[in-house]
Amino acid sequence: MNKQERVSFVINTLKELYPTIPVPLEHKDPYTLLIAVLLSAQCTDVRVNQITPLLFAKADNPYDMIKMSVEEIKEIIRPCGLSPMKSKGIHGLSHILIDKHGGEVPQSFEFLEELPAVGHKTASVVMSQAFGVPAFPVDTHIHRLMYRWNFTNGKNVVQTEKDAKRIFPEEIWNDLHLQIIWYGREYSPARGWNLEKDIITKTIGRKTVLKAYAKK
């Protein structure tokens, strides 16, 4: 297959596997999504989805969130890890949303990335899933699979994002990045990987990756 055929194979296979795409982080609006994504750093989505109902029962908007102390937030989100940093970030960004944005989450990469504890990936998820703006947030699954599929050199997530945006049509970015995440979890994980189940990598995978797997 040439490169365009490999790209089409990935898109079509993922469409067949995930015609409807579950959203990994449970949320009801841009603010609760922003907080959930922030909590997901170095934490599983399953764990985040267990913790956010406890947090949102007390504060599901910035006005209620700033009524809580950083310490109170930290105690609730402790199971998600990095709780000292995340609790300060949640409290701080809630203040900024009220002071600068009328209590609303801004629909702008620039303004989102100015918020404490919000990096480019978090901003990309919010822009994509909350506002429908084309974005390609790169998590560990996408980074791993883009390398396994020989679509990027694997140097860093910045390069992986650039390559993904160059290779795939912009109109499918928002669905595709979620489809790749689910595929990575279910068929092409970092650990316990069974190539026989991983039809995409088995078909178009980077030769060095397939050789390394065969040696195991």
Quick one: the chain helix, strand, coil %, rounded to 5?
65, 0, 35
- CA–CA separation, 196 vs 104, rounded Å? 47
- Give the global pTM: 0.93
CA distance readout (Å), 79 to 55, 73, 119, 127: 12, 12, 21, 26
- Mean pLDDT on 49-55: 98
For residue 80, the 8-state DSSP code is: G
- CA–CA separation, 73 vs 54, rounded Å? 10
| Residue of 45, 121, 163, 198 marked active site | 121
The tokens for 115 are 């918020």
Domain topology for 30-131:
Endonuclease III; domain 1 (1.10.340)
Amino acid of residue 141: H
Decide yes or no: CATH 1.10.1670.10 for domain 3-20+137-214. yes
The answer to whether the beta carbons of residues 138 and 115 sit under 8 Å apart is no
- Mean pLDDT on 45-70: 98
- In this prediction, residue 23 carries a pLDDT of 87
* Residue 60 annotated as catalytic: no
- Mean pLDDT on 115-143: 97
- In this prediction, residue 154 carries a pLDDT of 86
Q: Where are the domains positioned within the chain?
A: 3-20+137-214, 30-131
Start-to-end Cα distance in the chain: 26
The answer to whether the beta carbons of residues 128 and 137 sit under 8 Å apart is yes
For residue 156, the 8-state DSSP code is: -
| pLDDT band at 122; cut points 50, 70, 90 | very high
What's the mean pLDDT when you consider all of the chain?
97
| pLDDT band at 60; cut points 50, 70, 90 | very high
Sign of CA dihedral 127, 131, 133, 138: positive
| Residue of 139, 165, 175, 202 marked active site | 139
Report which of 150, 122, 148, 142 is spatially closest to residue 185, judged by C-alpha positions: 142
pLDDT digits (tens, 9 = 90+) for 89-106: 999 999 999 999 999 999
- In this prediction, residue 19 carries a pLDDT of 97
Q: Give the distance, in angstroms, between the CA of residue 177 and the centroid of all CA atoms in the same chain.
A: 8
- CA–CA separation, 28 vs 129, rounded Å? 11
pLDDT digits (tens, 9 = 90+) for 150-202: 999 989 999 999 999 999 999 999 999 999 999 999 999 999 999 999 999 99
* Residue 121 annotated as catalytic: yes
